[in-house]
Amino acid sequence: MIFDALRGRSRRSRNDLDALFMVPSAAVTLQTAMGLTPTGTGTVCYRAATGAGFAQTQADVVGLIAQSGSGAPAPTVSTVADDFGFTWLVVDDDPGDVSGLCTDLHAVNTALEANGFESSLLCSVIPFEGQGQRVGLVYLYKQGTFYPFAPTGTPGAERRRDNLLEIAVRDQLRDELPMEQDLQRWMALWGAPGL
């Protein structure tokens, strides 16, 4: 590590996917403090690779999540491509089971990482709504941090975000989740499923 520093190299810090398991507690905070509840949808965004290996991994992940309902109805799983060339794996589950949703999102990230596609992973999003507002709690895969993204208006309308809501959510959760401090990394995820 010292030699890397002397040579001007830095190692990328490993993310902590287990941070996704902190979201259920944060969801309780958002509900009690701000009236925001989970929608039951969660997504993982990645750049799909070409080739049979990636296609098989993606199919395996979709199959695994679609059969994961332990006694309860299994979540609905689909994939959607966006205008920027990214693929969103969308999990629709019971809005009251945030723990199960986060377990599913963790499994998707872990499976892609374990099969050598970690460089393709961008983020995971858990949407919340309430009092006419909506906000996505975004987990940046490469940083291992969260930030809130709050689009306003209707899909297809002028793209704006509610910066005051984003800051309020960040401040509310700063002691519960590793929040991204660099505001330049708070990407706008226009058209993200569930938002």
Tokens of 23: 């979201």
Range of lowest pLDDT (2-6, 114-118, 156-160): 2-6
Residue boundaries of the structural domains of the chain = 2-180
Task: Give the per-residue pLDDT at 1.
Answer: 40
Please choose, from the candidates 146, 136, 176, the residue with its C-alpha nearest in 3D space to the C-alpha of residue 22.
Answer: 176
Sign of the torsion formed by the C-alpha atoms of 115, 86, 106 and 119? positive
pLDDT of residue 12: 45
Residue matched to tokens 């109805």? 73
What's the CATH code, domain 2-180? Answer: 3.30.70
Tell me: the pLDDT tens digits for 48-93?
Answer: 887 788 888 888 888 888 776 555 677 889 999 888 889 999 999 8
